[in-house]
Amino acid sequence: MSKQIAGVLPVVLMPYTDSGALDEEDFLSQADHIFESGCQGLVVGQMSELLRLTHDERLRVAELCAKSVQGRGISVMSTGAETAEAAVGYSRHAEAAGVDALLVMHPATLPLGDDEMVEYYGRIVEAVSVPIIVHHAKSLARIPLSIGAQAQLLRQYGEDRVMFKPEAQPTPPRVSQLRDATDGRARIFEGDGGMMLLDCHRRGLAGTIPATETAEIVGVLWRLLEAGDRAAAERIGHPLSYLMCHMMNSTDYYLSIAKRLLKERGIVKNDHIRGPSAHVLDSESWSEASRVYTRLLNLSKELSR
């Protein structure tokens, strides 16, 4: 492993032009914001509307993911697919483009058992040389990937090749179960936008994967937790948990708020969400989210001094 995959790795929210095409300029703008916020890297993940991209767009985004880092940190590209063959193809392309690691979600349309899941992930690990993060997406897994299957992958390939983003609920105890089943070897990333970071961090994490709009907020929270300053961490962690509870009603609800926050701050030019979404953000939801977000930005500045 050439780079240490760890720390705060926000997900880039896919930016679009007025015509609905990928906005490469705003992708790079988000990358700049992430690194200027002190984060260790960036991720293209499911919240990047990955499943709404065309095949050619997915290939191009992998290239942007690698390009956007510019030696400042870690690039992680999501390469999961509905078949191992497709996932291997996306993974090999992303590695060739220069990403540092892969975030690999399981198939979402078939109820795969543990043996089939282990085979799927094993084929991907063996096809590339960069590390993979096994992504268990709670809303998309027909059958949750068991702790035993995840431990088997680690035993087979080692902690430098296989890491984990376990989102099966309830997340905190599953972090502990995976930690214990691997004798503390598993490198685990929290993936609920920082909502459960106060609890999950004490159970043993290699990092956290929020999204661009909370990059500096989660960055400060992570540094406080790493420093052992629990009291200060709770000051920012509790309102962050509330904001994430508010936003995480659905993917499009989250994106409608997060992209507008980025647009209001001038980080992106457009808050377009690719269809078939028909969600319209109501003014009262926006008012509440914006109020809490502004408070969190001010807290992050105060606590980073």
Q: Binding site annotation covers 143?
A: no
- 104's tokens: 């690999």
Do residues 68 and 27 touch, judged by C-beta distance below 8 A? yes
- The number of angstroms, rounded, from the C-alpha of 117 to the middle of its chain's C-alpha atoms is 21
Alpha carbon 241 to its chain's center: 16
Residue 46 gets the label, from left (phi > 0), alpha (psi -120 to 50) or beta, of alpha
Q: Would you state the torsion angle of the CA atoms of residues 212, 281, 274, 171, taken in this order, to the nearest 10 degrees?
A: 50
Residue 74, helix vs strand vs coil = strand
Residues 132 and 124: beta-carbon distance below 8 Å? yes
What's the rounded Cα separation, in Å, for the pair 132 and 103?
6
C-alpha 55: how far from its chain's center?
21
170 preceded by cis ω (within 30°)? yes
Q: Which of 128, 76, 133, 126 is nearest to 106 (CA)?
A: 133
Which residues are part of a known binding site for pyruvate? 209
